Structure formats: structure tokens, C-alpha cells
Amino acid sequence: MPPRPPLLRVPYTDPLPPPKIIPTSASTPSGAIAALVDFLSPSLPLSTHRAARPSQHAGKTLLLTGAGISVASGLADYRGTKGTYTLNKTYRPIYFNEFCENHEARKRYWARSFLGWTTLDKAKPNRAHEACGELGRMGVVGRLITQNVDSFHPTAHPHLPTTELHGYLRSLTCLTCHNEYPRRAFQAQLSALNPAWSAFLAEMLASGALDTENPVERRNRGLKSNPDGDVDIPGAPYTTFRYPACPVCLETPPRRADGSVVRVETDYDGAWDPASEGGVLKPAVIMFGESIPSATKTAAEDAVDAAGRLLVVGSSLATYSAWRLVKRAKERGLPIGVLNVGGVRGEEVFFGDVGEGNTGREAVRCSESAERVLPEVVRVLGEVGGRGR
């Protein structure tokens, strides 16, 4: 049965209007650094020689990050000048109902993800991620919320409490038993089940086609890379792709509420069989059309409510799950800052009431690279803290 057409649409796939820089002096990298230092300075502890305890988040700055912060790590963003929706107008992500209900849709998803995973797995956090961690160590930042699924934040700064709003690609979760399974182990199984695809992947890796960070070069070679670790190869026979079943469900078949057993079957090689009634592994990310878990949603809202100010880094806030958090912060009277190259959804809501005399303390809006700016902000704040405020 073909997948049902989705009722949802991907928000804001066209470029957003250019931002109004606040303050006007923040239109250069040095000006942006100065404005961000002014914005973050109120969160400096009275004594930077004694770091605040990890439990003391109240009044500190909350960071909210998006795909833009990982561009310097070699991953594409979504809506930037070289982003997925900008370069590939036909791209559409898989929807939650498609993945859950349609075996053919899952084949296509896992085939594309199989090719893209190596690039994501090899990528590392960049200087902007490290700067976020340094801001945490300095006591300026108390918590971080990220929309990214690349796991760079918890890798770069495990000491800084981080809420992964949209999940993470490092693990899978079973739709039946809800146990998690490591993505790297799953990749090895995909390789064993799909030798032709594995050979193609090896060829692409040997040629360097998956190593280049230039999306134009990738495009010329027939590769289109997306931020979720997914490479699109036109004409690839997705229908031949196979994927494994949940190992927990295979070992201990789950039971329904009435006591009946959920049938989970595989073929002779261990690939999930369409005759199965469960045991489907799904990436541990929030897909379009899927609800954010209530615990994650509450953690994000609590982080906003406990913060003294909020700084958005590398996000156009196109998804409502992120935009509403900034709106919540604004409604609570928190100063709002945005460091993002290009426009942001509905930013007039956040900056419409900013006075002319603002130097960055009340609000800041910069359109600069986070990797270029944030490390310098950390350096200057360290000097400011060393002198005392």
C-alpha cells in the first residue's frame, strides 16, 4: 500500500527576510562580539574564580542552538545559503506516520541514512560547541537546549546540562518495546545485510565524495547531503534495501495487553520481515508529525523559566517547538539574543520593543558565524571577569 500523503508541511523552506541588526554596531564580527559580551555580562558570577555549582542555573543565560552551529563541523544546515532546502528544492523528510506504517518508506529512509551515517559519525564538535561549554564553566550559561540530533553538544561539554529537544541519531528506539539500540552497531548490521550498498559506500568513501564539505561539489557528483545524516542518491534502488529487527523483541517477543504475543520475524539473513507485527527500530529523533515527549518538553520549559536571559545560536527558529520557547522567554520578560546567519522566523516579536539606546545588554541580533564569534566572546568575557565588573 502506498504511503498516505502527509497532512503536515515542512515550515519555511524559502529564505526568511534578512535580519535587522541590533545594535547597529553589531554588523561586523568585532561589533557582534562586543554586543554579545554586553548581552552576556550580566550572567557573569560575582567571582569567576569559583565556578557556580551545576545545580545553580537560575538567572544565568540559557542557550538554544540549531543546525547553524554545526555547519563548521561539515554538516549542512536547512535554510542557510547552502542549506538543504535552499539547494534541494525537492527534498522532503520522511514523516512519522510514513515510517511507522510503510515498509517501503522505511527501506528508502534506511538506505539513504546508511550512506549518510559515515559522514555524520566522523564529524566532530567545532569551536562554537566548545565555546558553549566554556560559557558553562565560567558560570555564564546554566543550561543548553539544542534542536540538533548530532550529539555534538553532550560530546563537547558533558558537564553542561543539555536538553536534546528533537532527540539524537546516536541511538535507535524500538516502536514496540521502546528499548534503545546503538546506531553504530545498527550500521554494521545494515552493511552485512546489504553488500551491494556496502560496496558502493566503500567506493564513495575511497573517492572522497562523502568527505567534501562543499555542497556544490557533492551535488556535481550526484550526492545531496541533509542535516540528519542522510545522503540522497538519484536512481538508487531503495526497494532492495534490508534492515534488521529489534534484537530485544526477537529474543523476548513482547506481549499485548491481552497477553497475546506480538509476532516479530526475520528472513534467513536476519532482516526484518514484513509479516511481522512489531520490532521496528526507529532513529531516536523526533520526526515530522511526531510529538516531543512530555518529559523533554517540560525540561525545556523549565529551563526557560529558570533562566535570566536567552541566546539563540545558529537557528532560524522555523520549527514551532523552538520558536515557542523563545516566545515564552519573551513573555516572561527575559532579554533575547540571536546569533544566526540570515533571517529568523517572526523575529519582530522578540525585538520590536527594543530601545534605540540599547548596546546589546537588553537585546542583541547578529548575523555572524558562531564558530568565528563565540570563542572570541568567551575570551573577552574571561578578561572582563578577571578584572571584575
Q: What is the DSSP string of 270-325?
A: SBBPTT-SS--EEEEE--BTPPPPHHHHHHHHHHHHH-SEEEEES----SHHHHHH
Write out the H or E segment, with its range, that includes residue 337.
Answer: strand 336-339
166 labelled catalytic:
yes
Strand-pair category, 141-146 with 281-285: unpaired
In this prediction, residues 29-44 reach a mean pLDDT of: 96
Task: Please report the pLDDT score of residue 16 as a whole number.
Answer: 76
Mean pLDDT of the chain: 86
Highest averaged pLDDT of the listed ranges 9-23, 82-96, 343-357: 343-357
Question: Backbone phi, then psi, for 162, in 5-degree steps?
Answer: -130, 130
Report the alpha-carbon distance of residue 316 to residue 240 in Å, rounded: 37
Closest to 65 measured CA to CA, from 170, 168, 162 = 162
Residues 6+ apart with CB under 8 A from 122: none
Asked if residues 290 and 34 have their Cβ atoms less than 8 Å apart, the reply is no
Pairing of strands 167-174, 180-182: antiparallel
Return the ∠ at Cα 364 (arms to 358 and 366), rounded to 5°. Answer: 130
Bigger pLDDT: 92 vs 208? 208
- Taking a C-beta distance cutoff of 8 angstroms, is the pair 300, 325 a contact? yes
Amino acid identity for residue 133 in this structure: G
Pairing status of strand 224-226 against strand 230-232: antiparallel
Q: Which residues contact 158 (CB under 8 A, 6 or more apart)?
A: none
- Ordered DSSP codes for 176-243: TT--EEEHHHHHHHHHHH-HHHHHHHHHHHHHTTTT---HHHHHHTT-EEETTTEEE-TT--GGG---
pLDDT at site 55: 40
The CATH number of 1-75+127-166+294-389 is: 3.40.50.1220
Please determine, for residue 264, whether its predicted confidence score (pLDDT) is greater than 50: yes
Q: Please state whether beta strands 363-366 and 336-339 pair in parallel, antiparallel, or not at all (unpaired).
A: parallel
- The answer to whether the CB of 67 falls within 8 A of the CB of 148 is yes
- Which secondary structure element, helix H or strand E, spans residue 153, and what is its range? helix 152-156
pLDDT in tens, 265-310: 999 999 999 999 999 999 999 998 999 999 999 999 999 999 999 9
Name the active-site residue from 57, 153, 157, 166: 166
The lowest-confidence range among 2-6, 111-115, 116-120, 310-314 is 2-6
**Mean pLDDT computed over 119-129:** 94
Residue 219: phi, psi to the nearest 5? -65, -40
How distant, in Å, are the alpha carbons of 52, 147, 254 from that of 313?
A: 23, 11, 42
Give the number of other Cβ atoms within 10 Å of residue 65's Cβ.
28
What are the Cα distances from residue 298, in Å, to 91, 159, 165, 305, 332?
31, 21, 10, 10, 16
Alpha carbon distance 188, 2 (integer Å):
29
Helix (H) or strand (E) holding 63: strand 61-65
Integer Rg of the chain from CA: 22
Give residue limits of the domains in the chain.
1-75+127-166+294-389
> In which band, very low, low, confident or very high, does the pLDDT at 237 lie, cut at 50, 70 and 90?
confident
36 contacts 57 by C-beta, under 8 angstroms: no
* CA quadruple 384, 382, 332, 19: dihedral sign: positive
Q: What are phi and psi of 169, to 5 degrees?
A: -90, -5
- pLDDT tier at 28 (50, 70, 90 boundaries)? very high
User: What does the longest C-alpha to C-alpha distance in the chain come to?
Assistant: 71
pLDDT in tens, 336-348: 999 999 999 999 9
The residue to which cell 552576556 is assigned: 40
Q: How confident is the model at residue 372 (pLDDT cuts 50, 70, 90)?
A: very high
